[in-house]
Amino acid sequence: MVHGLGGSSLNWTDLMALLVDRLATRAPDLPGFGYSPPPDDGDYSIAGHARSVVSLIEHDARGPVHLFGNSLGGAVAVTVASTRPDLVRTLTLISPALPDYRPGRWRSQVALLALPGVGQLFSRRLADMSAHQRVEGLLKLVYADPSSVSAERVAQAVVEVERRAALPYAVDAMAASTRGLVVSFLATGSAAPWAHAARVSAPTLLMYGREDKLVSSRVAPKAKAAFANSTVVVLPNTGHVAQMEHPELVARFVRSHLDESANRS
pLDDT per residue of the chain (265 residues) written in tens, 0 to 9: 999 999 999 999 999 999 999 999 999 999 999 999 999 999 999 999 999 999 999 999 988 999 999 999 999 999 999 999 999 999 999 999 999 876 654 445 555 455 555 455 555 566 677 889 889 989 999 999 999 999 999 999 999 999 998 999 998 898 899 889 989 998 999 999 999 999 999 999 999 999 999 999 999 999 999 999 999 999 999 999 999 999 999 999 999 999 999 988 7
Is residue 57 a part of any domain in this protein? Answer: yes
Residues written for the chain: 265
Residue 76 contacts residue 69 (beta carbons within 8 Å): yes
Is residue 43 a part of any domain in this protein? Answer: yes
Number of domains in the chain: 1
Residues of the domain holding 200:
9-264
pTM for the whole structure: 0.92
Report the distance separating Cα 215 and Cα 93, nearest Å. 12
Is residue 147 a part of any domain in this protein? Answer: yes
Domain of 28, CATH number, reads 3.40.50.1820
Report the distance separating Cα 116 and Cα 174, nearest Å. 12
Residues 6+ apart with CB under 8 A from 155: none
Cα angle for residues 217, 221, 223 (degrees, 5° grid): 85
Is residue 39 a part of any domain in this protein? Answer: yes
Is residue 3 a part of any domain in this protein? Answer: no
3-state secondary structure of 124: helix
What is the side-by-side strand order in the sheet with 88-94?
65-70, 88-94, 204-209, 230-235
CA dihedral 80→258→241→221, nearest 10 degrees, is: 80
Is residue 16 a part of any domain in this protein? Answer: yes
Q: Are strands 230-235 and 88-94 parallel, antiparallel or unpaired?
A: unpaired
Is residue 94 a part of any domain in this protein? Answer: yes
Is residue 1 a part of any domain in this protein? Answer: no
Cα distances (angstroms) measured from residue 36 to each of 31, 32, 171, 173: 5, 6, 14, 11
